[in-house]
């Protein structure tokens, strides 16, 4: 891995503009009536923004394999936490959760 490889100032500015654009887009998307897709769109945009920050500002894209493993492990363990918790709550009574009130 070339230690000196890191993104240029132009890359940073391009990422910054994209992040601001997606912030505007997520506020706009919230004004649309999309039902359950509102949450999916909002989280999708947030994830794109988070990936841009992590890959380019935190330079994960240019980091060692070991660092990438740690980043993926963090996501994996969060998914484990969320997944196992929801597998409990969402299966309590099967059809009565989430409640409608």
Residue 83 to residue 40: CA distance in whole angstroms: 17
| Residue ranges that bind other proteins, judged by CB under 8 A | 3, 6, 9, 12-13, 15-16, 19-20, 23-24, 26-27, 30-31, 38-39, 42-43, 45-46, 49-50, 53-54, 57-58, 63-64, 66-67, 70-71, 73-75, 77-78, 81-82, 85-86, 89-90, 97-99, 101
CB nearer other proteins, residue 42 or residue 61: 42
Q: What share of the chain is helix, strand, coil (3-state, %, to 5)?
A: 70, 0, 30
Tokens of residue 70, six digits: 């740690």
Nearest approach, Cβ of residue 62 and other proteins (Å)? 11
Nearest approach, Cβ of residue 74 and other proteins (Å)? 4
* Residue 42: Cβ within 10 Å count: 15
Residue 48 contacts residue 26 (beta carbons within 8 Å): no
């Amino acid at each position: 891995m070339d230690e000196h490889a890191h993104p240029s100032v132009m890359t940073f500015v391009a990422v910054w503009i994209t992040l601001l654009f997606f912030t505007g887009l997520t506020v706009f998307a919230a004004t649309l009536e999309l039902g359950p897709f509102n949450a999916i769109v909002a989280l999708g945009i947030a994830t794109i923004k988070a990936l841009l920050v992590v890959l380019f500002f935190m330079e994960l894209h240019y980091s060692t394999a070991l660092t990438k493993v740690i980043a993926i492990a963090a996501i994996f363990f969060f998914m484990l936490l969320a997944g196992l918790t929801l597998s409990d709550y969402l299966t309590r009574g099967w059809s009565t959760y989430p409640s409608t009130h």
